[in-house]
Amino acid sequence: MNAIFDMQDWGGKASPAQVNELQEARKAFEEVRPYGSHDAEAAYKKNPELVGEAASGRVNRAVRALQLETELRSDPGRRADRFVERWQKLDQASQRQYQAGDISGYKATRSAMGDMAKSLERDPQLESILANRKQELGIGFESGRRLGQELAFTHGIDIGRGRGIGI
């Protein structure tokens, strides 16, 4: 699994054998623990050294990380906390990148923020919880837009088709 993620991080593609192996591992994990593979992959992406530790029999940190990811996925309040924290970090990073003249980094960070704003369209529960935390997300006034659209508008992020065609 780690080899596939490393390959993707470098812009490459996994081999068909690696993809099959990953799919089989995910399927087996799902039989034991629903959504377990998603939680494990999220934990391993955040902390890649957990893969080696778990493979060598030291599973305590990996188990705790898996439990934490399960909590984050299933607890709407925790998901909202994670969203706000990630949004604020990306916003600060984009400001630093812009000031430093790192335009490609700035654009990549803004794209990630656009993806986050757009993701709220698929998660009305999270959007509803975050509606009470607009100030933490950098929104100072009520416009009547949905939260994802308001985040994009307030922070100058293009997530729709309208801006690209002059609307």
8-24: per-residue pLDDT in tens? 555 567 678 877 887 88
* Predicted pLDDT of residue 4: 57
| pTM score | 0.61
Percent of the chain with pLDDT over 70: 86
> Which has the higher per-residue pLDDT, 105 or 72?
105
Mean pLDDT of 76-85: 91
DSSP for the chain, written as a single string: -HHHHHHHHTT----HHHHHHHHHHHHHHHHHSTTHHHHHHHHHHH-THHHHHHHTT--HHHHHHHHHHHHHHH-HHHHHHHHHHHHHHHHHHHHHHHHHT-HHHHHHHHHHHHHHHHHGGG-HHHHHHHGGGTGGGT--S--SS-HHHHHHHHTT---SSGGGGT-
